[in-house]
Chain A
């Protein structure tokens, strides 16, 4: 018995398809996939990690951001469900974090301490290559899903990967590398902007992210554009109101 209605699933795919038509920004797109996946499965948090050209998993986007969650993503360069899904190309489904201390001695206790109870990771597959992983964290409030839903979540993960493979990409394989590096650099700009906003407005870096995202939504602008502006234009930084 699946918990995801066909109607909600269709809505999520339409959203994703809409983004693909607009002028494409990889990081913005991956943020949207993370948010839609989180709301679709009622998960506490969803994150996306991509392998850089040097084969290391890098965090790129999440449904929400806080220091504890970012650390859980960062740790998975060395161990964790995403690394397992990335290496094997197989989904890691519904692992109870309380029982996973042997499997992930560093990751499992930290994830538990952050309030999560279950974790899933699905490989992002592009042709035969695994290019990253979709990470779903469940808490007592939600995010545990029925085995029947696994293909649905995998479909969302595949859509995320397809976003990397647009029409232009098919024409020229190099576009993927260009976009990936661009997204990883945008990721750094967002961290720099969090620091700048935190310092300028006397809030925590976690709150700074919420301020940046709210501003981007209110003004219908991309998060990455707002982030770049506040790091390069002191007036824009001052004008940003928490």
Chain B
């Protein structure tokens, strides 16, 4: 395996270079445009979903991809819905392949729209699920290892941008897979009696307000030196 090629910094940069657009929809549209370019895709779509799979906000890189993104919510099936439900990517390099027959309505409809490959990436951190990023291609074929890594980084960056749109993403640092950070999220969830998604935001907000690295804050929470429900 090679060294990671497209890190979070690069991805944030690619998103920042897209034309500005307001609100969460604007953020998602910029993510989709940057992802489509970086992954040599014909388009990309992103949907924010509630825990029961209901779609909230969505956006796409272009009007055609927006229609494809809408398809699975209209039809109630598709790789994006499965990726969200199963909490893992669904990678379909060829919609003509038998593997794609599990969506009897979606697959022919997507192919009619000119889509040949779909790669759906959950926007999630553990049990916190926010939605899905879909990458569409008008030609069949797998993502390379490098492209897969890049797509996963896009998903990571989008999660953190959605959780905390106003703040600097640098707080994330290299703590992506630090056990303590995730344990602290679980503890703060119970301390504040809030869902895990909100616990993540509160933890990051505390780190931001105190100007401390989030890893240090997490360590204090796990060690019992800091509680977010007490001043």
Chain A: residues with CB nearer than 8 A to chain B?
51-56, 58-59, 67, 70, 74, 130, 171-174, 177-179, 181-182, 184-186, 188-189, 191-200, 205, 227-228, 231-232, 234, 237
Q: Is the CB of A232 within 8 A of B191?
A: no
Q: Is the CB of B190 within 8 A of A232?
A: no
Q: Is the CB of B92 within 8 A of A174?
A: yes
List of A residues within 8 angstroms of B190 by Cβ: 195-196, 199-200, 237
Once A51-B1, A195-B182, A200-B190 are accepted as A-B contacts, the answer to whether A171 and B99 lie under 8 Å apart by CB is: yes
Q: How far is the CB of A96 from chain B (nearest CB, A)?
A: 28
Q: Is the CB of A198 within 8 A of B187?
A: yes
Judged by a CB distance under 8 angstroms, whether B125 is at the interface is yes
Judged by a CB distance under 8 angstroms, whether B131 is at the interface is no
Q: Is the CB of B93 within 8 A of A228?
A: no
Which A residue's beta carbon lies closest to that of B120? A178
In the complex, 21 of the A-B residue pairs with CB atoms within 8 angstroms, ordered by the A residue number, are: A51-B1, A52-B152, A54-B153, A55-B1, A59-B177, A172-B99, A174-B92, A181-B89, A184-B177, A185-B87, A185-B88, A185-B122, A185-B126, A189-B126, A196-B189, A198-B222, A227-B127, A228-B127, A231-B127, A231-B186, A232-B196
Q: How far is the CB of B28 from chain A (nearest CB, A)?
A: 21
Q: Is the CB of B4 within 8 A of A231?
A: no
Q: Is the CB of A196 within 8 A of B186?
A: yes
Q: Is the CB of A181 within 8 A of B152?
A: yes
List of B residues within 8 angstroms of A205 by Cβ: 183, 222
Which B residue's beta carbon lies closest to that of A185? B87
Most buried by A among B92, B125, B186, B187: B186
Chain B: residues with CB nearer than 8 A to chain A?
1-4, 51, 86-93, 97, 99, 122, 124-128, 142, 145, 148-149, 152-153, 177-179, 182-191, 193, 195-196, 222
Q: A196 CA to B187 CA in the complex, in Å?
A: 5
Q: A70 CA to B149 CA in the complex, in Å?
A: 24
Q: Is the CB of B89 within 8 A of A188?
A: no
List of A residues within 8 angstroms of B142 by Cβ: 173-174
Q: Is the CB of A231 within 8 A of B99?
A: no
Q: Is the CB of A54 within 8 A of B90?
A: no
List of A residues within 8 angstroms of B99 by Cβ: 171-172
Q: How far is the CB of B115 from chain A (nearest CB, A)?
A: 16
Once A54-B149, A55-B2 are accepted as A-B contacts, the answer to whether A70 and B179 lie under 8 Å apart by CB is: yes
Q: A53 CA to B3 CA in the complex, in Å?
A: 10
Which A residue's beta carbon lies closest to that of B177? A58
List of A residues within 8 angstroms of B4 by Cβ: 54-56
Q: How far is the CB of B86 from chain A (nearest CB, A)?
A: 7
Q: A55 CA to B153 CA in the complex, in Å?
A: 12
Q: Is the CB of A178 within 8 A of B189?
A: no
Q: Is the CB of A182 within 8 A of B87?
A: yes
Cβ-closest 5 pairs across A and B: A195-B186, A182-B88, A188-B126, A191-B182, A195-B183
Q: How far is the CB of A185 from chain B (nearest CB, A)?
A: 6
Q: Is the CB of B183 within 8 A of A53?
A: no
Q: Is the CB of A192 within 8 A of B182?
A: yes
Among A53, A67, A191, A192, contact of B152 (Cβ-Cβ < 8 Å): A53
Q: How far is the CB of B200 from chain A (nearest CB, A)?
A: 9
